[in-house]
Amino acid sequence: MADSDYLLGVDVSTTGVKALLVDAQGQVLASATAPHASFAPHPLWSEQRPHDWADGAVAAIHAVLRAADTPGERVAAIGLTGQMHGMVALDAAGEVVRPAILWNDQRTGAECDEIRQRVGRRRLIEISGNDALTGFTAPKMLWTRRHEPDAYARIRHLLLPKDYLRYRLTGAYAMDKADGSGTLLFDLARRDWSPELLAALEIPPEWLPPTFEGPETTGVVSVAAAEATGLRAGTPVVAGGGDQAAQAVGVGAVTPGVLALTLGTSGVIFATTDTPMIEPEGRLHAFCHAVPGKWHLMGVMLSAAGSFQWLRDTLAPDASFEALVAEAARAPAGSDGVLFLPYLTGERTPYPDPLARGAWIGLTARHTRAHMIRATLEGVAFGLRDMLALMRASGLAVPDRARVSGGGARSVLWREIVASVLQIELEAPQTTEGAAYGAALLAGVGVGAWRDVTAATSALAISDTTQPIAADVSRYDALYAQYSTLYTTLAPTMHALAAFSEASE
């Protein structure tokens, strides 16, 4: 790769396709995003149209090349990333069989039970590193087989969201190992598909693509894709990684001792490990890293910044997020005894429960909207603390600082809340482009811009640090003791209300 060449990272996120152009020194030149829609035709469902991702990628790539005022011929390599776990089913001709079922879809509770019965829960965790959760890909396959047999009969290829874009760019069926390990069909230690799990679930192995390490080349841009995007035909496309693994690369969490914390639509705590590390009950995710030969342990809450988005859209649609944060700052730490449960779309860690429900607890007539907003920010932080506690209990040596990223991390107040609740220092990387940036770095490693992923991330600069506020730590400790009892106490009511809601549909 010449110093004058560029790297392109493309992220198929839940809300849009982002294209990011990076130079040979890792400096961001331009970015562009094309939004796409999600659909929830029934309770618990979440779907998107794969063709929308392809159209969005074309638009975003054209836009980023225009913004950088550069021809596509200068792009030396492309790295892909995107939302994990989504089921993209294609027929023998490569046509989409049905809309993609997304990571936050919760319809597959019965299929998760079926997987545990077929494989054995302990054996499932032993092989894959994970329990069967509704967000994963394998339960979606079983759901389609049970409820849409005609669609299932047409399936010949199974991909994840970014890999559908790879197919559209290169014509190749391929997947990276980090994203593949999030399907619940992987042998975690072997870093490839598990013949035992495929046989137990009766999923044909020929439907699954070959898997690659993050920086490995999986194909090249086809002539047709070059004409559509303005890129050069023959441009290498590397494997990349699922969004969380690529995000970790983008913030430099590529070796043990560097924790990554994401305040995006979902909330994530991500710890790199040198060997597979499994939480015995499968309450933490154990996946392959996008870094060759590395793994990671990860906790995920489904509605982090998504909770704040919901609050704004529902209670203050005309207000900016900045205005709402300023309003929250007028309430004291602890929100005068108001707690928020951020289970608006069910939950994963530490409660793998698609029927978990959100709530404010402790409201009185003296509380204001400011208290409710701050309690929402604090509730997300308490959910992150649940994850950190579980990691420590699993034997992970948790460092005293974390690299923080995601849209929610732009808020100074929210960073202060999270730092104080978790009692760790937060470091904000200077580059905030996240998963797309990590994908671009992986592309650079793939074409020799850096010798390995560690070298690619070694020059990442920290723009800001946030320390715990000493006066708030003890207050949050006391409040967390109450927060940590709420799920167990309220779960029966949550489940009853979920059943009532479904019956009313």
Residue 268's alpha-carbon distances to 184, 193, 248, 483, in angstroms, are 19, 25, 10, 19
Q: Are 214 and 228 in contact (CB under 8 A)?
A: no
Q: Are 238 and 8 in contact (CB under 8 A)?
A: no
Alpha carbons 170 and 152: distance in angstroms, whole number: 25
Alpha carbons 349 and 372: distance in angstroms, whole number: 23
User: Angle between the 369-393 and 305-315 helix axes, to the nearest 10 degrees?
Assistant: 160
CA atoms within 13 A on the CB side of 422: 31
Alpha carbons 226 and 232: distance in angstroms, whole number: 6
Residue 64's alpha-carbon distances to 6, 60, 247, 287, 438, in angstroms, are 12, 6, 20, 32, 17
Angle of CA points 33, 103, 245, to nearest 5°:
70
Q: The tokens of 456 are what? A: 């690619």
Residue 6's alpha-carbon distances to 137, 240, 324, 444, 484, in angstroms, are 34, 16, 39, 9, 48
Nearest to 157 by CA among 219, 195, 204: 204
Q: Looking at 23, 243, 353, 386, which residue is catalytic?
A: 243
Q: Is 353 marked active-site? A: no
Q: Are 283 and 352 in contact (CB under 8 A)?
A: yes
Longest dimension (CA), the chain: 65
Catalytic annotation, residues: 243
